[in-house]
Amino acid sequence: MPRIKKILVANRGEIALRVIRAARELGLATVAIHSTVDEGALHVKFADESVCIGPPPARQSYLHIPAIISAAEITGADAVHPGYGFLAENAEFAEVCGRAGLTFIGPLPEHMRLMGDKVQARTAMAAHGLPILPGTGILRSDEEAMAAALEIGLPVIIKATAGGGGRGMKIVHDPAKLLQQLKTARAEALAGFGNEGVFIERFVDAPRHIEVQVIGDGKTVVALGERECSIQRRHQKLVEEAPSPALSPAERLALLERVGNAVSAIGYRSVGTLEFLFERQPDGEPRFYFMEMNPRIQVEHTVTEMVSGVDLLREQINIAMGQPLREAYLRERVKPNGHSIELRLNAEDPVTFAPSPGRITALHLPGGPGVRVDTHVYQGYVVPPNYDSLIAKLIVHDEDRPAAIARLRRALVECVVEGIKTNLDFHRRVVEHEDFVRGRLDTRFVERLLH
């Protein structure tokens, strides 16, 4: 593969700035793209070059493939990094980049297609030794759905095969409501993903959500560690940490080896994350169920970086340039070093969780030992109403979980954002909650916190 010299970052916000920083440390030039409303964003200010590619609506800018390719051509970029969201998991975009002579910094298109279809992904990973919940393929008829639900046993969950973020997802407890929920799920899936395909899976009430970070060069895959992502609202993660307080060292090692072997079997290249539901049986036996794989960098990659010492963005770029995985170097970091926790700071009403765009009139971000803040905002920045409400990620690291929680509490005291509403107070409640302190987490934690 040719040496990359200039990367166009096909994204915005904190992840665009994160890519720019990794590229600069590798001696690579960067190009930022932006919509008209993002002209004053930090990723635009810190890139070597910038190109405005359209108006605020994402379909006319950050999702507009011809405009992105044109921006790469006029600036002489020879590679594209998609970040997360937008076009990060779009196999067609990766192929267009290849045809335009651009190195796509991410997985191969065939892996994006495989993992972009949850039914295919479940089948593939089950064939390579990962456990899955009882479920179906893509449902072809109402009759098939009803028969499958009764066979699996209620409650069941309907999921969009091309979905994510909770869209096209419905929990069914009553068979009389199945067909209506199925119709609604299909409509949401079609509107959100352009694909109405859905499938049914056994519903697990209040599991833990644990995911595993992998990195591969097409020949070797290493599972770097797991993250606990159980604190969610409407299937959107709010707090992540590494390692999970639910697993023993032996359970962790067994999970990582199993995941590494499964992903190695498909020849995966780049970074990726496999997501699992986890429940512990009454006899203490751990049960993991594979849900999906995200073939991209994750929002919460930061906590894995903090406990592994591996710069995932830098490794991802090196792999795209054809460099082999430093397997021995990475395997030494399977055992986590200390504990890390990330909070997603969102511009939203703390009661209704509705987005809260506007101008940030005062901003003080925490610092000190073991504190990291990934953000694209600054005092005077106007948070636009057009995109995701994430404005910053507050990450802490310390020698163990209690120390990390104490450091997080201190950092939250220092954090000041004025002019817009944020979920800062929500996070302050989380870190004081007895269940959080004791590591008693599951996907219904937020329900208990708010009620």
pLDDT for 451 equals: 80
- pTM metric for this prediction: 0.95
Q: Using 50, 70 and 90 to split pLDDT, how confident is the model at 351? A: confident
Residues 149 and 292 in one domain: no
Among 87, 105, 123, residue at a domain's last position: 105
Among 167, 202, 237, residue at a domain's last position: 202
Six token digits for residue 46: 């810190």
Q: Which domain holds residue 155?
A: 134-202
Residue 118 resides in a domain: no
The C-alpha atoms of residue 29 and residue 48 are separated, in whole angstroms, by: 6
pLDDT digits (tens, 9 = 90+) for 221-233: 999 999 999 999 9
Residues 341 and 257 in one domain: yes
Residue 119 resides in a domain: no
The C-alpha atoms of residue 385 and residue 160 are separated, in whole angstroms, by: 27
Residues 312 and 439 in one domain: yes
Residue 255 resides in a domain: yes
Residues 296 and 186 in one domain: no
154: pLDDT strictly greater than 80: yes
CATH number at residue 57: 3.40.50.20
Contact between residue 58 and residue 387 where contact means Cβ atoms under 8 Å apart: yes
Contact between residue 410 and residue 49 where contact means Cβ atoms under 8 Å apart: no
> Can 202 be counted among the known catalytic residues?
no
Contact between residue 28 and residue 52 where contact means Cβ atoms under 8 Å apart: no
Contact between residue 199 and residue 118 where contact means Cβ atoms under 8 Å apart: yes
CATH number at residue 192: 3.30.1490.20
313: pLDDT strictly greater than 80: yes
pLDDT for 238 equals: 97
Six token digits for residue 156: 């069941």
Count of structural domains within the chain: 3
Residues 69 and 169 in one domain: no
Residues 214 and 357 in one domain: yes
pLDDT digits (tens, 9 = 90+) for 104-127: 999 999 999 999 999 999 999 999
Among 202, 232, 248, residue at a domain's last position: 202
pLDDT for 172 equals: 96
Residues 215 and 190 in one domain: no
Q: 124-141 burial, b for 16+ CB within 10 Å, e for fewer?
A: bbeeeebebbebbeebee
Write down the catalytic residue from 18, 186, 269, 296: 296
